[in-house]
Structure 1
Amino acid sequence: MNITPESRTAGSKSTALIIVIAVGIALTMWFWLDLWLGGGLIGGDVYTYYFPQKSFYAEALKQGDIPLWNSLVGHGYPLVAESQTGAFYPPNLLLYRFLDVNTAYNVNHLFHYLLAFCATVWLARDLGTSLFGALFAGLVFVYGWFAPRSCLEWAILTGAYLPLSLAMLNRYFRSRNVQWLWGLSGVLCLQLLPGHFHLAFITLICLSLWSLCEWIAEFRSTRNLSRSAVIQTENPRESEILGASDARPQPANVYRFLQFKRTLILPALAISLGILMASMQLLPTWSLKQNSQRVTSSSADFDPGYGHIPPRYLSQAVIPWYWYRDPQQLDNRLNSQQFLDYPTATNPVEAHLYFGFLPFFLAILGGVSIVRSHSDNDRRLLWLVGFGLLAVIYATGWLLPLLQNFPGFSFFRGPGRYGIVASLAAALWAARGWETIRDSIASRWQVLLAIVISVITLLDLSWVSQRITYAFMVPETPMTRIEESPVRQQLIALPAPARIFGPGPNLLTITGFSATPVYLGIGPAEYFNPDLSYPESPSDRSESPWATFTSKQIEWMQRAGVTHIVSYLPPDPQNAFMKLEWQGIDPLLNGAWGRFQEPIYLSRLLGSRGRISWSENSESTSIDWVLHSSEKIELHVETPIDQMLILTELYDSDWIATIDGQPATSRRIEGMYRGLDIPAGSHRITWNYRSGSFRWGLMISIAGFTIWLIIGITVAKRQKKLQALAI
């Protein structure tokens, strides 16, 4: 049997791929073993933000719907527009449809860590790094930057695509084959669909800068040529891009245009196509932004500087023990304003920029080697470090006064997130630093030294990820005990939908019932209006929230349609508006709150409007719920007089009302709710959610996806034709 060089190459690539995947899986098991064993994450935004969204989303998927509106958080909000549910993200559609919420969340988490690791290895290998160096770069980047941010689901779901996008672009510039730009469009679409677009925005900046650097490098190579000089295009495969005739010698001025086309125009078109395909997610978010707390970057509820890296905190890269020795006090240390600090708040997770003690010095050594080199790969590594340095400067907040009103920069807060670019560059330089050491020592010591460096870095990053984070693994997560929740069982038995008030914004919606107060990263402006939100009182107890209530607070809850209150203490006997209905340990809620041995209390709020009421109640009026889903409400009502029906759901012009099948006009009531004038008699009332921004976004996405498929088929046919000609 003859073994050809081609079969040897294919075999070595297959072996390398198996090694990469095996190491990637092993690292997820090292860092996230409890998730593999069925446990879960708790802390940070996991139970106050992500599980409430994912529970609602999963329930809708299991009923065969893709929800556009979340009717449980507060008085409702446009679910797709808020974006972080990732309603159209393919892994979400698959996992939350067929798995329970906790398992789906864990699998998604682990899969994206593996994806980020493999993508980083691919990028490093494409930039000329050895297999071990690439594996080391994957460890440093993925488990240096992402692991402390495990409380922020969007970080790994969207950040995994940064190295993948750069690898696609690098492969295009190496081969001049537009199939990589076609793939880049698809990758960018996938990065945008999970929502929270900040890391996608950072990715777009990196791709744009990289393309600009490629154009400058090519332009400099021909700038001294006369306009009449004739140049042979350096890569015959450019015929795939430019047409067969463009592979022939070209005048210098024509060639410069072709340079501009292939280095700037084509990548820009690929990026634009990816954005078009994600329009069904982007347009609703843009529409909500115009009516949210982020309508301007100067909004009191939106501080773009929050989450910056104080300049002194950059020293964490070399003296981590100084900063990380007391995580409990780190927040206070970072927020004690000092010289050169940006004058706004931050936190240890958003400001985290650590990629390992040894990798830092290896990166310096690798930088020396790269600066001395003149290869294309090392030139691109230099560009990446340049991007990283710019990112670090922005991460300090110093550039915010200049950029915070520019598109993109005005939409996001958390300048510290730009550190992802610096972490990636440092990881790639550290891999090159290892190779510099490897080449200077005897081969018999190389394996031993590689093991020592890897183990020390692994232990280093593991230690840091357990200290600088807001989320921690637990072997048994409360999320798996939803059906055992007594609070849920009490509310299921009610004849009309309930609304709960209690500790932990959004958390109580995990029970399957509407709850307030609200926590949204980008949400309807009504929820951030102090004239409409829950009135805080100096008597509120921070250690036992909502144990007692003022008359003003009771009145607000009654008007807001709150039917039940969950509290840490029993209701005040003097409070005539609260009636205790249950007390005890709720496996779901107690576990989520960390109150494992302390009872909680469920009380009914008397005198409340509930989810719906008449403006004038009498014995002859009635309201019967026929249907209550995320996007449709149907009622049968009777009233002896003309009067208003008040629905304590968020007013939104995309909710269309009908009375007996005829269009009707909802009115905004009390600044937030929906009112509908009902004539005397018996009527069938419906509200249907019809999002105009989603419809437009969907049509644009379909058009973009159609163009993407046509281009893909065309490129594949041309590729096949070229291969046939080569044979």
Structure 2
Amino acid sequence: MRRPFGIEIATCRSVLADPRLAHAERSLDSRAPSRVGDALAVVTLVLLAILLNWQTFQVPQGLPASGDGSDLWVTHWGQTAFLKQAVAETGAIPLWNPHLMSGRPFAADPLAALFYPPTHLVHLLPLREFFLLVLVGHLAFAGVGAYALARLGVRLGTGAALLVGIAFMWSPRLIGHYGAGHLTMTMAAAWLPWVALALVLAIRRGPIWVAPAGLALGLAILAGHPQIAFYHLLMVGALTAGGLVWAAQQEPTGRVRLRAALRVAGIGVGTVAIGALVGAALLIPALEFTHQSLREGGLTVEDRLAPLDLLRYLLAVPLDGATPHEKTFVPGIPVLFLFPLAFLRRRALAALLTVAVCLTAVLAMGAATPLLPFLAEHVPGFGYFRAPARIWFLGTLTLALLAGLGFEALLGGRPHLRLLQPAVILLLAVNLWAVDEPLLHVRSADIGYTPSRLEAVAAALAGDTRVYGVQRNIRQAVLPALDLELADGQDPLQIARYAGFMQLAGGYRFDGYALAIPPFEVYDPEWPTHQDAQPRARLLGLLNVGIVASRAPLDDPELDHIATIGDTFLYRNDAVMPRAFVVPASLGAALAGATPEHLARLAMDGAVAPDPATGGATVTMQTSDRLVVQVDLATDGYLVVGTPWYPGWEARIDGRRATLDQVGGVLQGVSVPAGIHIVEIVYRPRSVWIGLALCVSGLILAGIWTLIAARAARRAPHPPKATL
């Protein structure tokens, strides 16, 4: 039997006014469907998550989210393989990744999701099985979360909540990014309904739910997609603001209203505080990386989506585009039909959710309306992300809840229409299945992660040196297997000084923010530098680049053509420098204060090169986070290391701390006195340790908050159980 609207409002008012009445509220929440019905619904959602991936099990070594442009192929496979290999070989979690862009922070890279607990399942499973488990597992987790939000947060019946779970879990917005290999985005988005549910329960039932809300938010941050984590924060802010307004409207006197408002505000602040602290293990290093990268000030709000296009994309996915997942707004025809019916019974809630959908849609249009550019200019966070249409994750979840309300208004409480419930749910499933199937992109893992002949030959020729691909000729996924390092690479975050120097070394020009080094837009026919880049051997030599791969002929005389594999020329760099070498102390002083342009001029003149008269250097040990060099100097000298300078690298000479300089603002260097010495250069990022300490403090805070809230609840007198 459905509770009368007036009794529901009265109960919620009493809970806000006095948290001790939460016990009565919980007693009223046990609606007709049994726990067996909820269990069957959860099992159904898990099975549907698996069933959608049926193609995966038909293809040998099949894996969804596969293909040449998939983030899983381009980024996640290589990063995860590196993590698995490094831990197996050294027993320690690596903090620096030497395989891309001559080396870059690993713990600070959101795409690595290094501190997200499910990431470390990779140490127990083969890579293909790991990715399959994480992808399908988070898909099911998203569906069950949406179901729980509908059942416990919105108080829908089992059938309506099941429809909400399917509508979110199988939404083309989620499946589009799932199929594009956006692993961290999928993982972070799966937490949206769980964060919303815990926060709603905290406002309704009491502060003991703040810790689960904060922990869920923290895990969403650690999942590794800052843009979706930012949308989580927006959702928390919106729910808290809604709770404040609702509390003020329900209470009869100013003092009680103020108390209720302060309580709701404290719940919101507590949720964000715990979430930010738990997520600090990624947030602190990632903020440092962002500050050091092109991302800092490099993005402007340019993406735009016309209102008519948005309406068109609500009905169909533009599969003819290069990135259909970025323009996927389809919620399913049954959802569009059902959501207006939500106003038939719960008008106030339906109105609030509809306003949220409309606001989300306006933000998703990007620069097509003045709202997002205004927010990007005046509110921190809005200007850091590309593809604002991704905020439609929130719109998808909200529309699903509206459809659940409409479903219950149409079919709930009417025994003679009960048989129509599974028919409507089946209709939605069939509709979404037809839309989702082309977005999954199932292929064999062997295709994407087995080194090609070109990659194997390039790795063999490079030996201990690096490779530079003029057109990103070597795939990142195969680097750990080949133990190969690239001077190029693709990742949203790049060290800004290194990216600037690579324009000089790579012989190209690109202003603004790019996703790769070299920018892949360079090879689009619309760009004037299309396949015209001519790398400079001596500048690449400073980065220990011994082999250059290009699909177009190169004319630098110090690049010696040694092989042709398919359509790719391989060149030996006769100007390659050792990973670490010694120059005179006077030159070292000049390099320590040089700009990248000055360093480039000196290198092109041949001035930056090993000086046998000063002494020699031999690398005796090298891991991802550590380089040990033995130097034998006749006079005071300067050790130049071909690894990008970045905060957290430290130098020690014979165990004593030494100053590590920025060579030309790009590389590493340290002054060494005459004699035989052991120079150790180690990556010990303070930002990581601070972030981990804050994460632990967040876990402790969540525990303390829970204990205090539980103790207060036990001491509070419980009123008699409410009855209708």
Q: CA 1:411–1:141 in 2, change beyond 3 Å: closer, same or farther?
A: same
**Partner of 1:210 in structure 2?**
239
Mapped partners of 1:645, 1:34: distance in 2 = 55
Mapped partners of 1:573, 1:523: distance in 2 = 28
1:463 to 2:434 alignment: yes
2:301 to 300, 304, 307: 304
Q: CA 1:147–1:383 in 2, change beyond 3 Å: closer, same or farther?
A: same
* Post-superposition offset of 1:69: 1.9
1:107 to 2:76 alignment: no
CA contact (8 A) 2:336 2:403 kept: yes
1:278 to 2:246 alignment: no
1:118 to 2:144 alignment: yes
CA contact (8 A) 1:632 1:687 kept: yes
Mapped partners of 1:633, 1:45: distance in 2 = 30
Q: CA 1:91–1:386 in 2, change beyond 3 Å: closer, same or farther?
A: same
1:570-614 per-residue CA deviation (whole Å, 9 max, x = no partner) reads: x7799763353685xxxxxxxxxxxxxx68676543331243334
Matched to 2:705, the amino acid is: I
1:212-247 per-residue CA deviation (whole Å, 9 max, x = no partner) reads: 222222212335x4xxxxxxxxxxxxxxxxxxxxxx
1:511-546 per-residue CA deviation (whole Å, 9 max, x = no partner) reads: 3322132322233212442754622399x9769x99
Mapped partners of 2:214, 2:144: distance in 1 = 19
CA contact (8 A) 2:159 2:422 kept: no
**Partner of 2:678 in structure 1?**
684
Mapped partners of 2:32, 2:673: distance in 1 = 78
**Partner of 1:631 in structure 2?**
625
Matched to 2:365, the amino acid is: T
2:403 to 417, 423, 430: 430
What CA RMSD, in Å, does the superposition of the two structures yield over aligned residues?
A: 3.5
1:509 to 479, 483, 506: 479
Greater mean alpha carbon deviation, residues 207-216 or residues 178-187: 207-216
* Post-superposition offset of 1:706: 1.8
Q: CA 1:143–1:259 in 2, change beyond 3 Å: closer, same or farther?
A: same
Matched to 1:158, the amino acid is: A
Q: CA 1:654–1:574 in 2, change beyond 3 Å: closer, same or farther?
A: closer
CA contact (8 A) 1:578 1:604 kept: yes
Aligned residues: 636
Any idea what SS the aligned residue of 1:195 has? coil
Any idea what SS the aligned residue of 1:563 has? strand
1:194 to 194, 215, 223: 223
Mapped partners of 1:258, 1:581: distance in 2 = 76
CA contact (8 A) 2:448 2:477 kept: no
* Post-superposition offset of 1:165: 0.9
1:180 to 2:209 alignment: yes
CA contact (8 A) 1:563 1:610 kept: no
**Partner of 2:562 in structure 1?**
580
Q: CA 1:698–1:442 in 2, change beyond 3 Å: closer, same or farther?
A: closer
**Partner of 1:535 in structure 2?**
507
Q: CA 1:580–1:495 in 2, change beyond 3 Å: closer, same or farther?
A: closer
Mapped partners of 1:87, 1:564: distance in 2 = 31
CA contact (8 A) 2:535 2:554 kept: no
Mapped partners of 1:135, 1:672: distance in 2 = 55
Matched to 2:72, the amino acid is: V
Mapped partners of 2:236, 2:301: distance in 1 = 23
Q: CA 1:572–1:702 in 2, change beyond 3 Å: closer, same or farther?
A: closer
Greater mean alpha carbon deviation, residues 405-414 or residues 493-502: 493-502
Mapped partners of 1:437, 1:726: distance in 2 = 34
Q: CA 1:574–1:609 in 2, change beyond 3 Å: closer, same or farther?
A: closer
* Post-superposition offset of 1:19: 1.6
* Post-superposition offset of 1:11: 12
2:494 to 499, 504, 523: 523
1:49 to 48, 65, 75: 75
Q: CA 1:533–1:181 in 2, change beyond 3 Å: closer, same or farther?
A: farther
Mapped partners of 2:669, 2:703: distance in 1 = 46
Mapped partners of 2:428, 2:675: distance in 1 = 74
Q: CA 1:107–1:568 in 2, change beyond 3 Å: closer, same or farther?
A: farther
CA contact (8 A) 1:548 1:572 kept: no
1:473-523 per-residue CA deviation (whole Å, 9 max, x = no partner) reads: 1144435646x9884587479763544534267455343322132322233
* Post-superposition offset of 1:96: 2.0
CA contact (8 A) 2:461 2:547 kept: no
CA contact (8 A) 1:385 1:422 kept: no
**Partner of 1:240 in structure 2?**
none
* Post-superposition offset of 1:303: 3.0
* Post-superposition offset of 1:161: 1.1
Mapped partners of 1:645, 1:118: distance in 2 = 57
Unpaired segments of 5 or more residues in structure 1?
Answer: 1-5, 226-251, 332-346, 372-378, 584-597
Any idea what SS the aligned residue of 2:94 has? coil
Matches within 5 A, 1:545-556: 552-556=535-539
Mapped partners of 2:490, 2:523: distance in 1 = 20
* Post-superposition offset of 1:437: 3.2
CA contact (8 A) 2:203 2:267 kept: no
* Post-superposition offset of 1:395: 1.3
Q: CA 1:533–1:310 in 2, change beyond 3 Å: closer, same or farther?
A: farther
Mapped partners of 1:495, 1:292: distance in 2 = 30
Matches within 5 A, 1:63-462: 63-93=90-120, 95-126=121-152, 127-144=154-171, 145-150=173-178, 151=180, 152-176=182-206, 178-223=207-252, 225=253, 253=255, 255-296=256-297, 299=298, 302-306=299-303, 308-317=304-313, 319-320=315-316, 324=318, 327-328=319-320, 330=321, 348-371=324-347, 379-397=348-366, 398=369, 399-405=371-377, 406-439=379-412, 443=416, 446-447=418-419, 449-462=420-433
Mapped partners of 1:542, 1:215: distance in 2 = 51
Q: CA 1:427–1:154 in 2, change beyond 3 Å: closer, same or farther?
A: same
Greater mean alpha carbon deviation, residues 547-556 or residues 415-424: 547-556
Greater mean alpha carbon deviation, residues 557-566 or residues 193-202: 557-566
CA contact (8 A) 2:99 2:479 kept: yes
TM-score by length of 2: 0.79
* Post-superposition offset of 1:120: 0.1
Q: CA 1:305–1:622 in 2, change beyond 3 Å: closer, same or farther?
A: same
* Post-superposition offset of 1:451: 4.3
**Partner of 2:575 in structure 1?**
607
* Post-superposition offset of 1:68: 2.0
CA contact (8 A) 2:248 2:258 kept: no
Mapped partners of 1:706, 1:548: distance in 2 = 55
Matched to 1:215, the amino acid is: L
**Partner of 1:712 in structure 2?**
706
Mapped partners of 1:659, 1:77: distance in 2 = 23
* Post-superposition offset of 1:191: 0.8
Matches within 5 A, 1:558-707: 558-567=541-550, 577-580=559-562, 583=565, 604-615=572-583, 616-617=609-610, 622-707=616-701
Q: CA 1:56–1:13 in 2, change beyond 3 Å: closer, same or farther?
A: farther
CA contact (8 A) 1:581 1:602 kept: yes
**Amino-acid identity (%):** 19
Unpaired segments of 5 or more residues in structure 2?
Answer: 1-26, 511-521, 584-608
1:177-196 per-residue CA deviation (whole Å, 9 max, x = no partner) reads: x2211211111111111222
Q: CA 1:512–1:24 in 2, change beyond 3 Å: closer, same or farther?
A: farther
* Post-superposition offset of 1:168: 0.9
TM-score by length of 1: 0.79
CA contact (8 A) 1:506 1:517 kept: no
Q: CA 1:256–1:440 in 2, change beyond 3 Å: closer, same or farther?
A: closer
Q: CA 1:490–1:203 in 2, change beyond 3 Å: closer, same or farther?
A: closer
Q: CA 1:551–1:191 in 2, change beyond 3 Å: closer, same or farther?
A: closer
Matched to 1:561, the amino acid is: N
Greater mean alpha carbon deviation, residues 75-84 or residues 136-145: 75-84
